[in-house]
Amino acid sequence: MSERDGETAEALIARMARGEERALARFYDAFHGRVYAFALRLVREPADAAEVLNEVMLEVWRRAAGFEGRSRALTWVLGIAHHKAIDRVRSRRPAFADDAVLEHVADDAPAAAEVLARLEDRARLQACLERLSDAHRLVLHLAFFDDLPYPEIAEVVGVPLGTVKTRVFHAKQLLKQCLAGDEPVRARAPGG
């Protein structure tokens, strides 16, 4: 969250704890994109991700008074999002996921050959990521897309720091192996 206006996410949480609805609106504006993207990676359905986002923000509102500041606000919120998304995945019936992703090309589109090469690289990377276990994909997402340090990832996921380090290491090795053309073994992380 930008502190250009002098108010941190933690300050907004404190205001929410006092019942200030405007603080929730500002908090939502600051975090809804990251929470939605994080939830979408876990639940894989836009409608489900939107529901998770709503549940998370409601939970933030309800639990604001219990926020002790032992972690950053983002870590706290993503921890709530992780639990809500896992609950949603567990509660829904198995469904076939549509993995087709629409690609958007900018107005200053590069040559067709370059676009095709990028799409192939992206598709290859996506295919390799899909071969990883859910636990491995999750830690990679938190580390590289949400830019969380390992201790915060451990807090979000609810596992020891050493487990996070091991999962990231193995996930990177499996991803590297797959991208090199070798078929990775679908490794299952302990507890994940």
**Cβ neighbours around 55 below 10 Å, total:** 18
Domains of the chain, first to last: 9-91 (1.10.1740.10), 112-179 (1.10.10.10)
Residue 113 CB partners (closer than 8 Å, separation 6+):
none
pLDDT-derived band at 15, boundaries 50, 70, 90: very high
Question: 158, 45, 53, 50: which is closest to 93 by C-alpha?
Answer: 45
The mean pLDDT of 13-24, rounded to a whole number, is 94
The mean pLDDT of 127-148, rounded to a whole number, is 86
By percentage, how much of the chain surpasses pLDDT 70?
Answer: 76
| Confidence at residue 93, expressed as pLDDT on a 0 to 100 scale | 55
Question: 20, 50, 58, 44: which is closest to 96 by C-alpha?
Answer: 44
Query: Comparing 49 with 126, which gets the higher pLDDT?
Result: 49
3-state secondary structure 97-120: CCCCCCCCCCCCCCCHHHHHHHHH
180 pLDDT more than 90: no
| Confidence at residue 117, expressed as pLDDT on a 0 to 100 scale | 57
The two three-digit tokens of residue 188, written as one number: 């299952």
Element (H, E) at 76: helix 73-91
| Confidence at residue 186, expressed as pLDDT on a 0 to 100 scale | 53
The mean pLDDT of 104-113, rounded to a whole number, is 44
| Confidence at residue 107, expressed as pLDDT on a 0 to 100 scale | 38
91 pLDDT more than 90: no
Q: Round the average pLDDT of the chain to a whole number and report it.
A: 80
